[in-house]
């Protein structure tokens, strides 16, 4: 059995407010609530891996101390998202009295935007009925998927992806404790593949460290199932110069070498367009076409055919100049 403490996502999970990176304003406001022991219902929204679940657990630790697990119920709504969960597990926990000096318990619903509309309506009533003995913490990727009655009962905090400085700070902390050798180029590669997602950053870094203590960009991109940005840029530059055959062949080589799907590569193409030496109007036209191609892939079109069509479109842009 794998020792869970070995996983860096758990090993480096924030234990107090000061450990949470990149959400300074949110942490300050939430910590003020905790100091007063007068917590409202909270709704955390934002992309994955930016500290929503970690902050919920830190709140419980700060409020209840060693007895936080007895006063804290965590449910992942992506697994249990029906109305029975609200009627049974949530209500049963909310009915019991809290242990300790804090006059309420905490119920944390992770990925609550996966709850059905019926379950959200039941949750709304539960939040009303047990507001004196229970506080609800909800996290989601998209606040728009949470019904308005629940949003109006919560203080909403919007999380943002970690920026480069914060990601580099986490990398430095882990590299020091794990005795890793990471160059500036490797840090930049980790930032690019993680896209501000701390969980993805730590998993990628641990996978690289399992192979060698010296982390190199080539290993990072291969383990993250991502092509090097310069390779994608070369494909686009060849197409814009009118060299369709070489651009097409290079793109297929990049996909096969890195094991990338059409959707993986299309997202990297979209990022690389902004680094091309073309005017702003052309970039907008190309981004519009990329969005159209991505939609066709999602709907089930052949990804290789669609990528060839995209490269052909880039080449036609050269011909029209």
Residue of 164, 190, 140, 143 whose CA lies nearest to 8: 190
Helices (H), the chain: 8-11, 24-36, 52-64, 83-85, 91-95, 117-129, 148-152, 164-178, 184-194, 198-211, 217-223, 229-240, 244-258, 262-273, 280-298, 303-320
pLDDT of residue 185: 92
pLDDT of residue 82: 64
Give CATH for domain 164-223.
1.10.8.60
Q: Would you list the domain boundaries of the chain?
A: 4-158, 164-223, 229-320
Q: d(Cα 99, Cα 308) in Å, to the nearest integer?
A: 63
Give CATH for domain 4-158.
3.40.50.300
Give CATH for domain 229-320.
1.20.272.10
pLDDT of residue 129: 85
Q: d(Cα 280, Cα 274) in Å, to the nearest integer?
A: 9
Non-local CB neighbours of 256 within 8 Å, separated by 6+ positions: none
Burial tier of 308 (Cβ tally within 10 Å: 0-12, 13-18, 19+):
middle
pLDDT of residue 2: 46
pLDDT of residue 113: 87
The sign of the CA dihedral 161, 167, 169, 175 is positive
* Residue segments in the chain with a per-residue pLDDT below the cut of 70: 1-6, 77-86, 318-321
Q: d(Cα 110, Cα 77) in Å, to the nearest integer?
A: 6
pLDDT of residue 77: 64
Q: Would the pTM of this model clear 0.85, i.e. be above it?
A: no
pLDDT of residue 224: 81
């Amino acid at each position: 059995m794998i020792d869970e403490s070995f996983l860096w996502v758990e090993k480096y999970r924030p234990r107090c407010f000061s450990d949470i990176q990149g959400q300074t304003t949110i942490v300050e406001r939430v910590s003020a609530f905790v100091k007063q022991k007068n917590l409202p219902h909270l709704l955390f929204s934002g992309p994955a891996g930016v500290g929503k679940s970690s902050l919920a657990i830190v709140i419980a630790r700060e409020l209840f101390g060693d007895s936080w697990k007895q006063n804290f119920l965590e449910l992942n709504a992506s697994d249990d998202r029906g109305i029975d969960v609200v009627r049974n597990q949530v209500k049963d926990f909310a009915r019991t009295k809290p242990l300790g000096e804090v006059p309420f318990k905490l119920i944390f619903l992770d990925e609550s935007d996966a709850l059905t509309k019926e379950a959200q309506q039941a949750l709304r009533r539960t939040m009303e009925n047990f507001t004196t003995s229970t506080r609800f913490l909800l996290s989601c990727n998209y606040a728009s998927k949470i019904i308005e009655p629940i949003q109006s009962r919560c203080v909403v905090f919007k999380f943002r992806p970690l920026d480069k400085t914060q990601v580099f700070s986490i990398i430095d902390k882990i590299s020091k404790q794990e005795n890793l050798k990471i160059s500036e180029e490797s840090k930049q590669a980790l930032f690019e593949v993680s896209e501000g997602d701390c969980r993805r950053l730590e998993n990628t870094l641990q996978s690289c460290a399992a192979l060698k203590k010296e982390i190199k960009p080539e290993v990072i991109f291969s383990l993250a199932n991502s092509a090097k940005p310069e390779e994608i840029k070369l494909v686009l530059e060849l197409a814009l110069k009118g060299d369709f055959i070489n651009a097409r062949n290079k793109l297929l080589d990049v996909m096969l070498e890195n094991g990338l799907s059409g959707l993986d590569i299309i997202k990297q193409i979209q990022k690389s367009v902004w680094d091309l030496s073309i005017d702003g109007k052309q970039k907008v036209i190309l981004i519009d076409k990329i969005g159209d191609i991505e939609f066709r892939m999602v709907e089930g079109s052949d990804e290789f055919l669609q990528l060839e069509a995209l490269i052909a479109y880039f080449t036609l842009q050269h011909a029209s100049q």
